[in-house]
Chain A
């Protein structure tokens, strides 16, 4: 398996993925409360002009988060 943790941070605009897990426990609890649940589908919408923060769609709404935070969400796709 060459799947060395692709994260939300490395997604391209318009790309869809399924959340697999988290690499940071502290952020994981917050992210899950915001609806980033393992198994949920996530869509990368766009990034801010300097590439950070980014905007994703999850749980039916638009969430913006910093690149650092996005990189702790690993995805399958």
Chain B
């Protein structure tokens, strides 16, 4: 064993086995998210001090049922467990099993034991087992399985010290084999072991069973393994089924002899009762909507205070920088590019944190599985999955945490479709745009006695986004063809009270990874946009002040008014302005001029920038987006030079509203889709289809209403 490296321990177990609780207990806040070498999937790891091993790296692998993969998550685990040649491969395994659900957990354990790695069995949730009246003979279990067996209660931290001791001392000297491999496989296994230098039969057998899913193998070796497999007629399905049956019968015998007191289901009674209400055809949906309402309230109302605070903080800091540092390009880049860019990332933290706290509470309690259960049938009609509900609804707050929440969807196609349509749900950043444009074109009167017309328009836009998401999902369901069967097969765990420290650590981990990963890209892009908006092809920018002074010499403007005019003139002559003019022919059919074009471009980074840009470009008072009354009156008095009519006719307003409902005007979302799909393909497809949808719809709306 490689003793020169830091010891690495992997935690393996079923979903809901309390693996993450154990991980949190072992590592505390000392966690990080990185990537597995060669595998582009996240690795959650942390460090723990273990006597005899020193500072030990603990890897929390995704929850799995078997070493035979069926989802992306499971494939990763199979790869990590089967690849011993990396310095980052785990040397020892801790298998976590739910004490109230031993059989299914032991299936995985027997597979791991057969792989020959030093293994410890941690039997978790001993508190529940005690409540259920179950007890096991741990000594007997340990003797029969040939591994250390440690009862723990990860939520309370009980048994952790014993577990650490067992981790330090465990080895694979017993070299137990539980499953006798089929006779037909013995010869090819020998061939594979010699060819690839493997020292374990079951490992070689897994190489033969699933060469295609082991990405660490070279293409040559994969092909070679596939040939050996074909020649020896090892059909994965048939052998795998027989293996599962044999393993379960071994487990049956094992538990027969080691169970002192079996469980009856009486301890689950309250959980069953709860299910009668929570999955009821009326109450179930009603309660779900109340929960949703609460989450929305929290994300919209609670998050707005810290968000405003952060926004203000960064604005002040930027101003302070430009006032304190010597004037120059670097100061400007810092004060107008990097600091606001960083602010744009950090501003999302409260929303992300609150949303993830709720999602984590719903997941920990077991309620999320019921929501999936309630919604699956409906969502499936649209190519989505019951598990898509959470991201879609979160998307009404902010698409970024929403897209991060799609990781729970096992099916690749359903997950990808969910990611693609989530940004169509109207997020909170669209609210300022909607508000100002609606105020511009919809009269503030009541219809049908009590409905406010402007309120109705706003609701209409939300519904428009929602239906567009469903229709797009339906179309993508028809277009995207993959050889992957969709299935649900999900445990409905017994309800439990969520644990605060688990919720807290999830929240910290998700927020941290968002800020670090998505942040890098957002930052880079905001700097580029700043450069485009601040520099121009000619020297007009430097002479802006002079020119505007001349122009307005006899207008007796206030200092503020003058500054605003200068800013507007600078923007017009910047690269962004030049590009705005260049794209005018393209956006003219939608009813927009080059000024709106600049707003479209700058708001490409983040749609909420639209209002700010409008303010700058029409040079109204200081660029204060809250001051919508002034922006509105300015926009109202803007004249279309060609027709002599107001610029913002109802047709233009409607066209813009529809455009912003559909357009993917958010760099942060693109960044997060890139991160979640591990490449540029899907974010680019998404950008293209949403922009096309926005353009075509805005065109149709403008042509109909003008």
Contacts and interface: CB of A to CB of B under 8 A. Distances in A.
Contact of B487 (A25, A50, A66): A66
B376 interface: yes
A42 interface: no
Given A37-B245, A60-B100, A50 B488 contact: no
Contact of A55 (B101, B265, B492): B492
Nearest to B375: A48
A69 B489 contact: yes
Interface in B458-511: 485, 487-494
Contact of B488 (A35, A61, A66): A66
A60 B238 CA distance: 26
Most B CB atoms within 10 A — which of A37, A46, A48? A48
B104 A61 contact: yes
Given A35-B104, A46-B279, A64 B490 contact: yes
B488 A65 contact: yes
B377 A34 contact: no
Given A33-B66, A46-B275, A52-B377, A38 B101 contact: no
A46 B66 CA distance: 27
Given A29-B68, A33-B66, A37-B245, A49 B488 contact: no
B432 to A, nearest CB: 38
A45 B280 CA distance: 13
Contacts of A59: 101, 103-104
Given A46-B275, A53-B373, A57-B265, A35 B103 contact: yes
| Interface size class, chain A | 20 to 34
A65 B386 CA distance: 11
A64 B488 contact: yes
A18 B265 CA distance: 18
A28 interface: yes
A30 B70 contact: yes
A69 B272 CA distance: 23
B34 to A, nearest CB: 30
Contact of B376 (A34, A38, A53): A53
Interface string B354-395: 000000000000000100111011100000001000000000
A52 B65 contact: no
Given A29-B240, A33-B65, A59-B104, A64 B373 contact: yes
Interface string B643-665: 00000000000000000000000
A50 B378 CA distance: 9
Contacts of A33: 65-66, 68, 107, 244
Contacts of B404: none
Interface in B34-78: 65-66, 68, 70
A7 to B, nearest CB: 15
Contact of A69 (B240, B245, B275, B488): B488
Contacts of A31: 489
Which 3 residue pairs are nearest across A and B when measured between Cβ atoms? A49-B281, A62-B492, A32-B244
Given A49-B281, A64-B488, A69-B489, 5 more contacts: A52-B377, A55-B373, A62-B493, A64-B491, A69-B487
21 contacts: A25-B237, A25-B241, A28-B241, A29-B237, A30-B70, A31-B489, A45-B275, A49-B281, A53-B373, A53-B376, A53-B386, A57-B265, A60-B100, A60-B263, A63-B489, A63-B491, A63-B492, A64-B372, A64-B488, A65-B488, A66-B488
